[in-house]
Each structure stands twice: as C-alpha cells, then as structure tokens.
Amino acid sequence: MKTEALIAMLANGPVQVAPGAVARRVLAAVAVGGAVALGVVLAALRLRPDLAAAVHAPMFWLKLAVPVVVAALAIVAVRRLARPGGRAGPVVAIGAVLAVVLAAFAVADVALAPAGERAAIVLGRTALPCVVLVTALSLPGLAALFVALRSLAPTRLRAAGAAAGALAAGVGAAIYALHCNEMTLPFVAVWYALGMAVPAALGALLGPRWLRWS
Amino acid sequence: MEDVEEALRSALLLALSGDNEAYVAFLTRTGAHLRSYFRRRLASSPNDVEDLVQETLLAIHNRRHTFEPTARLMPWLYAIARYKLIDLLRAQSPRRAIEVALDDDEGIAELVHADASPAETRRDLARLLDALPDRYRLPIVLVKLEGRSVAEAAQATGISQAAIKVGIHRGLKKLAAIVAKRR
C-alpha cells in the first residue's frame, strides 16, 4: 500500500480521542486489582477481629501509610512510563529517600527495644504469610495493570513493568494491612517491604516480554 | 526546530479534537520526517524504510490517546519511531538493536531536522553554517557539501591542506554542539 493511501485510510475514520486516556485506564486497573484483593481479604482471610479497636492505634495507620505511599509514588511513575519516551522521573529518588527514612526508624526501634524483645518485634508471628499474601494480593492488580499498559504505549518496558508491580504491590499490601495484626514498624519495614518487592521484581522481569505492543 | 514542533503539535491537537483534514496534514508531514530519519538509520536496507514509515504512522494512529496535550510532541514521536526501529532491527540482528538502544536520546534533534524536502534541509544547514567562522565554514562547504578534495579546497581558498582538515574536524564538532544546544 502506498503511504498516502494509508494516511487517507487512517484519517477516514474517527480520529477524535477523549483526553486523559492514560490516567483513566491506569486508575481502572488499580480499581479492579484493589477490588479483587479486597474481596479475597473479606471472603477468605477476614479482617482482623480487633479492627474497631486497632483504628485508634497510630501504628495501624502507619502500617497502612507505608504501602499507600508506595502506591502513590508508583502511580505517578506508571502514568509517566505508559507514554512513549516517558521516564519514571523523580519519584524513584523520593521513594529511595523515604525507604531510607523508614529503615532508619525501624533500626532505631530495634535498637531501643529491650534485648530480649528485639527478635520478636522484627519477626512477628506472621512473617512468611505476610510476604506470600502481600504478593498474592498484588497479582490481580499486576495483571490488570499489564492489560492497561498494553493498550497504552510504554517504551521502557522493564521500568514500566517494575512500576506496575510496585503499584499493584502498594495496593495489595494496603489491603492486606486490614487483615494483618502485626503492630511493629520493623515488621513492616522488613516483611511488607519484601512482600512488595516481589511483585515489583516480577513486573520488571515480565515487562520486556509482556508489555511489548505493536 | 521550534516551528516544526509547534506546527506538527497544533495539527495533531486539531486532529485529536476531530479535524480530519488536519490529521492528513499531520500524518503526511510526520511521514516525511520519519522517512528521512529512517533512511539515515537504515542506510544498508533502504527497502525497509517505507514499510517502517507506514508501521510507525499506524502505531502513532493506534496510540494517539497516549499523547498528552500539554507535552512536547517531538519526544513522543521520536520515542515511537525509535521503538519501531528497534523492533525491526531486533528481528534482523540483535546486535544492531542494542546499538540503537544505547544511543538513547541522541536522535530527537535529528528527527526534527530530518526534514521532508531537500530544499528545507539545505536552508537549515545554511543557517547552521552561517554561525561558523570562515575558517571552519569554507572547508566544510567545499569538501563535505560540494565534494571537492582537500587539495582542491586548499587551492581554492589559499589555506593549507592541514588547516582544511582541521577546519572540517573542528567545524563539524562546533555544528554538533550548536545542534545539541538547540535541542
């Protein structure tokens, strides 16, 4: 086909598009992933039984805040990386600084605790389920975000995959926090972080292959 | 360079709000830019150029919802062109794809300057060359543009052959710096 013919054909159909497609599709994917994860927590895992009392503890909100901040930073990165030529931008540096701050508080928490309690406040009682379930609750969101990204046009596929993984992980971990009854900062800094790192790494691993569009 | 960005961008914005005639103009002009951009990158396989132009135009069309109206257009176009180019090269030879991938953002200025008509390119080049002092400009014009030998250029200008060579070398460096700054 001649190029002019192609151009005429492309311009022959409707060309108009509504602005804001990137934001809409990313948010829809987050909503789908979050809804599925919330459904699993409500139906299978159950909310923590003392939820009504826990909401008065600052630690409950801090535990929720960590993944929410991860998700907030990651959604900025995903929206930028979803466009041709887009880069993650300054959110990576901001995230790194916040991670260092969180780690510092966690280390201080451990250092200030009586020697006999140190292991307990780091390990908690649910370390392994935490990592596994945070990862599992992130997977629906990761899948939905990959579908959304494939309809957009990322050109840095590994970064886009990692950002999608981090976003899904932030949402998944925030919802898991409604079920989890661990109440120490070092636990969050180690096991939540690990649980969120797995989907991010998975996204980075799968991005170059699965986010390819043509 | 700003005019290309502005002209193409306003044409695309008109098109995205429903003006199909502006869309034809946008695609035609973009296609011309892509053609000379790919031609330079695919010197060894000129037959692929038009296919790649068409594929890229199609990708621009199918992904037009990812253009942010407040963003610059050229980086967006260039990223799609480069993505398509790497796709093609990867299918042919992984090594060349890596080379192109490595030279990251080099090419935006090149795409902007990869103008459709030779006349326009010549005008751009003339404007660029005007910024150079004679001792750089003359050697480049005589040897690189008019295709004379170094000896002929030396004779025509009364400059030594060594000075002609140095003039070309430094002049091209300066041009590259000017282009890079404009970007």
Q: Helix (H, G, I), strand (E, B), or coil: what is residue B147?
A: coil
CB count in 10 Å sphere of residue A127: 16
> Is the per-residue pLDDT at B103 higher than 90?
no
- Are residues B75 and B127 both part of a single domain? no
Q: Do B61 and A152 touch (CB under 8 A)?
A: no
Lowest mean pLDDT among A56-65, A188-197, B42-51, B171-180: B171-180
- Are residues B94 and B156 both part of a single domain? no
Q: The domain spanning residue B50 has which CATH number?
A: 1.10.1740.10
Cα torsion through B166, B170, B175, B181, rounded to 10: 180
Q: Which pLDDT band, with edges at 50, 70 and 90, does B116 fall under?
A: very low
Measure B18 CA to nearest chain A CA, in Å: 5
Q: Which residue has the higher pLDDT, B183 or A17?
A: A17
Which among A154, A206, A200 has a CA at the least distance from the CA of A22?
A154
pLDDT computed for residue A195 by the predictor: 96
Q: Do B54 and A1 touch (CB under 8 A)?
A: yes
pLDDT computed for residue B157 by the predictor: 78
Q: Is B46 exposed, middle or buried (0-12, 13-18, 19+ CB in 10 A)?
A: exposed
Q: Which residue of A has its CA nearest to B72?
A: A85
- Are residues B121 and B98 both part of a single domain? no
Q: Which pLDDT band, with edges at 50, 70 and 90, does B109 fall under?
A: low
> Do A15 and B18 touch, CB atoms closer than 8 A?
yes
pLDDT computed for residue B175 by the predictor: 78
- Are residues B83 and B124 both part of a single domain? no
Q: Helix (H, G, I), strand (E, B), or coil: what is residue A57?
A: coil
> Is the per-residue pLDDT at B129 higher than 90?
no
Q: Which two tokens stand for residue A153?
A: 């046009």
Alpha-helical regions (H) of chain B: 2-16, 20-41, 47-62, 73-92, 94-102, 107-113, 118-130, 134-139, 150-157, 161-182
pLDDT computed for residue B105 by the predictor: 47
What CA–CA distance (Å, rounded) separates A107 from A112? 9
C-alpha distance from residue B22 to each of A21, B11, B33, B182 (Å) = 21, 5, 17, 27
Q: Please, what's the b/e burial string for B50-64 (b: 16 or more CB within 10 A of its CB; e: otherwise)?
A: bebbbbbbbbbbebb
pLDDT computed for residue B159 by the predictor: 80
Interface-testing mutation among A9, A10, A157, with chain B (most B C-beta atoms within 10 A): A10
B107 domain residue, yes or no: no
pLDDT computed for residue B124 by the predictor: 65
- Are residues B58 and B92 both part of a single domain? yes
Query: Identity (one letter) of the amino acid at A13?
Result: G
Average per-residue pLDDT in chain B?
A: 80
* pLDDT above 90: percentage of residues in chain B: 36
- Are residues B76 and B9 both part of a single domain? yes
Measure A203 CA to nearest chain B CA, in Å: 20
Structural domain harbouring B38: 2-102
CA B133 to chain centre: 24
A193-210 and A157-176 helices, crossing angle to 10°:
150
Q: Which two tokens stand for residue A193?
A: 């972080």
- Are residues B132 and B177 both part of a single domain? yes
Q: Which residue has the tokens 């997977």?
A: A139
Contacts of A76 in chain B (CB under 8 A): none
> Is the per-residue pLDDT at B74 higher than 70?
yes
- pLDDT tens digits for A47-97? 988 888 888 999 999 999 999 999 999 999 999 999 999 999 899 999 999
- Are residues B81 and B13 both part of a single domain? yes
Task: Examine the fold and report which residue of B102, B132, B150 is the final residue of a domain before the chain moves on.
Answer: B102
CA A205 to chain centre: 15
B68 domain residue, yes or no: yes
pLDDT computed for residue B110 by the predictor: 56
Q: Which pLDDT band, with edges at 50, 70 and 90, does B142 fall under?
A: confident
B98 has a chain A CB within 8 A of its CB: no
CB count in 10 Å sphere of residue B142: 22
A-facing residues of B in 26-55 (CB < 8 A) are: 27-28, 31, 50, 53-55
Q: Considering its fold, how many domains does chain B have in total?
A: 2
Q: Which pLDDT band, with edges at 50, 70 and 90, does B2 fall under?
A: low
Task: Examine the fold and report which residue of B70, B102, B134 is the final residue of a domain before the chain moves on.
Answer: B102
> Is the per-residue pLDDT at B121 higher than 80?
no
> Do B150 and B167 touch, CB atoms closer than 8 A?
no
- Are residues B89 and B124 both part of a single domain? no
- pLDDT tens digits for B3-39? 889 999 999 999 999 899 999 999 999 999 999 899 9
Q: Which residues of chain A have pLDDT under 50?
A: none
